[in-house]
Structures are given as C-alpha cells and as structure tokens.
Amino acid sequence: WMAGGDKRRSVGDSFLLHELDIALDMDRYIKDIYSQSIVHVMRLDGESDFEWTMRKTCYLSLTHFLRILLDRIDRISTAVGLEVRLPFCDHRLVEYVYNTPWLLKTYDGREKSLLRGASLDLIPTSINKRVKSPYPSIQDPAYTVKLRDNIREYLPSSNHAIFDLVNRDWLTRTLSKSVITNGSRNSLERVYDLALWLDIYKPELKLS
C-alpha cells in the first residue's frame, strides 16, 4: 500500500484473468481495505505530511506485516526445536517507540537508529553497525529459479483449476523474462500459493 499503491497495478499487469480482475474490482478493494486499515491512526497536532505518512506506515507494519513475521519465526523455530523470545515486541516498548517522531527514529540516516544508539555501549561495534538482515525476504537467486521451475510444471496442463483464475499468457510471458522483478516475483508467489491451495483442498470454484 504505502510503497506503491495503485502504481503497482497497470493494464495487463495483473496475473488474474482480465474479466475476473474487472469483476473483483481489485483496485477499489485495495483502496477500501487500506482506508479501513488506517481509520484508527490518529494524526498529531502540527504533524507534517511526511511524519503522518510514516506514522501510517509504522501502524500498517505493526498491525499487518508483523503478524507474518511472528508466524514465520514461530514456524521456523518450532521446526528445529527452538523457542524464540522477542523482547522488542513487548507492548510497552512498542507503544512508547511508536509515538517517537520518525526523524528521531532515523536521526543518523540509518534504519533502527534508536536501537543502535541505545545499545552502542552494550554490544560489540561489529554487531551494532552491521547491515540489517532483509528477513523474511529471500535474497538467494536460487529461490526465484526454483519458484519458476515449480510453476512451469502447471503450464502444460490445460484443465488445471489455476487457469480458471490466472491469465496463462501473463504467466508464460513472466516466466520467460530473463530478470524477475520483486513485483513479478510477488505475483508468481501468489500464483503458486493458489495452485497449491487448489491441489491440496480441491475447492469448488463458482465464478459468476
């Protein structure tokens, strides 16, 4: 929402069938869900447009994206017999830092400025200054290669239920590109998620 909004979608760019995309009115749906998601975000008196935007961004990260992070770390740790503690998710700390002005949160031009500053004399400099890990985004190029290979298995099938939802031409065109952008990779992940969901649960689709 905050990074691209409507700019992320353009004519012919959706992986959904054109008629389905129109019927679902995804652009309106995205706008409506966004409006509902920020309805409780209060704008402070005298707050600049930039600070207001960053406040909404932080709120969306806490109420939406954080759920994905917590679920993923729980699944990963459980799979190897570990129990993870997340002290920075203490609600008192989150509530306190949430109201800190964004310019203070990034006072030195880096991410996690407050945390780095607060822990400067507590942890080694090599840890304090190291580059933030992009978790949970996978950076290994092999991931995208494997994703494409898995999805290509569905293309020969003309009767798979995935093509009741997904534009085959878009899929073929995207898979043939030499470079997959982050936006295209996200769409390919959604397509693969849908295909697996259809394979596992075999729902009855009623499209009208």
Q: What is the pLDDT along the chain (208 residues), one digit of tens a residue?
A: 544 444 445 545 689 998 898 888 888 888 999 999 999 999 999 999 999 999 999 999 999 989 888 998 899 899 999 999 988 899 999 998 998 999 899 999 988 899 999 999 999 999 999 988 777 677 788 999 999 999 999 888 778 999 999 999 999 999 999 988 888 998 999 999 999 999 999 998 887 6
Contact 165, 179 (CB under 8 A): no
Contacts of 194 (CB under 8 A, 6+ apart): 162, 165, 166
Tokens of 150: 């898995």
Q: The pTM is what?
A: 0.76
Contact 89, 73 (CB under 8 A): no
